[in-house]
């Protein structure tokens, strides 16, 4: 039995395909720091987190009920391109599977759920807007300039990413294989790892699982950068412990937003490079 905090997630206003994909992601979580499980329809009102499609009337009504509950249920609005739900947490339909675990982790941390699921907090009469404080020691130990490890067997891709990260104010360490990546991780700490899936000495997802098994790297943000972009590939990345998934060729704006989101999970905004602060605050 896992000792990780677990949370019940209710889903309203999404179609059967999205529901199935969410269920698959939850079933294959291995290395995420929290566990999530779908709440049965009869238990939706007692769930810890709500995912609601605002394009459906039932989803909008569920969000309204979630805000009015005592204590309020944390809600994630699933919106269409350019739509706004007026909620603290939102994700576009096209990004739902890819961003599912990162946004759920962020909701747990920002809504103060890390101290216990909603059902426990209700019993303890905790404040609905409680926010778990960030550990000061963790912030003080972070370097002034973030460092990323780029793992890709293509020298061209490594050079292109090095240029992009330099524009973002991030230092780059590079490796061309899984073995070299592990050596560099052991020799010098990094704040983020970006892995290609196809490597000359193995699989980037296998490398991600190896990284997650090491206690010192368990919370390291890992981004997959791959030419494969199907929902199944995204799910495989999440199951391997990856924090985010980007498809090649990656757009610079997408890279900036994703990196800012991952680096901003455990850092105060003023510790990020200026190039990333706006992207982090808007993600």
Reduced to 3 states (helix: H, G, I; strand: E, B; else coil), residue 59 is: helix
Find residue 225's DSSP bridge partners.
Answer: 246
Residue 248 and residue 160 share a domain? yes
Highest mean pLDDT pick, 56-60, 116-120, 177-181, 278-282? 177-181
Report yes or no: 167 and 275 within 8 Å, Cβ to Cβ. yes
Rg (CA), the chain: 19
- Model confidence over 249-260: pLDDT tens digits? 888 888 988 998
The CA-CA-CA angle for residues 246, 205, 281, to 5°, reads 35
- Cβ neighbours around 14 below 10 Å, total: 21
CA distance 191 to 44: 37
Give the chain's mean pLDDT.
80
Find residue 10's DSSP bridge partners.
Answer: 50
Q: Which domain holds residue 46?
A: 6-124
Percent of the chain with pLDDT over 90: 24
Number of domains in the chain: 2
Residue 84 and residue 164 share a domain? no
- Model confidence over 6-27: pLDDT tens digits? 899 999 999 888 888 888 888 8
Residue 160 and residue 95 share a domain? no
Residue 231 and residue 205 share a domain? yes
DSSP 128: T
Burial of 67 (0-12, 13-18, 19+ CB in 10 A): middle
pTM here is 0.54
Of 79, 100, 124, at which residue does a domain stop?
Answer: 124
Interval 184-192 mean pLDDT: 91
CATH of the domain at 152: 3.40.50.2300
Supply the pLDDT for residue 267.
63
Find residue 245's DSSP bridge partners.
Answer: 224
Supply the pLDDT for residue 270.
63
Quick check: is 131 in a domain?
Answer: no
Nearest Cα neighbor of 87 from 52, 58, 119 is 52
């Amino acid at each position: 039995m896992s000792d990780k905090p677990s949370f019940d997630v209710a889903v309203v206003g999404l179609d059967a395909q999205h529901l199935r994909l969410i269920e698959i992601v939850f079933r294959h979580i291995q290395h995420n720091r929290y566990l999530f499980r779908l709440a049965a329809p009869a238990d939706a009102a007692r769930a810890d987190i709500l995912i609601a499609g605002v394009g459906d009337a039932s989803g909008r009504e569920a969000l309204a009920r979630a805000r009015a509950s005592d204590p309020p249920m944390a809600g994630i609005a699933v919106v269409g391109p350019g739509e706004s739900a007026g909620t603290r947490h939102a994700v576009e339909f096209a990004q739902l599977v890819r961003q599912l675990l990162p946004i759920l982790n962020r909701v747990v941390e920002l809504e103060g759920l890390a101290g216990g699921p909603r059902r426990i907090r209700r019993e303890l009469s905790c404040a609905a807007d409680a926010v778990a404080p960030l550990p000061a020691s963790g912030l003080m130990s972070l370097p002034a300039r973030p460092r990323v490890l780029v793992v890709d067997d293509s020298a061209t891709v490594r050079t292109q990413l090095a240029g992009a990260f330099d524009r973002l104010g991030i230092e780059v360490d590079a490796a061309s294989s899984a073995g070299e990546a592990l050596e560099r991780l052991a020799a010098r700490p990094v704040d983020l790892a970006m892995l290609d899936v196809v490597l000359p000495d193995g699989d980037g997802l296998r490398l991600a699982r190896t990284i997650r098994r090491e206690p010192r790297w368990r919370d390291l943000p890992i981004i997959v950068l791959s030419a494969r972009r199907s929902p199944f590939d995204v799910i495989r990345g999440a199951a391997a412990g990856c924090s985010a998934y980007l498809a090649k060729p990656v757009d610079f704006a997408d890279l900036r937003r994703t990196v800012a989101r991952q680096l901003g999970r455990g850092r105060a905004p003023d510790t990020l490079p200026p190039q990333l602060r706006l992207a982090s605050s808007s993600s």
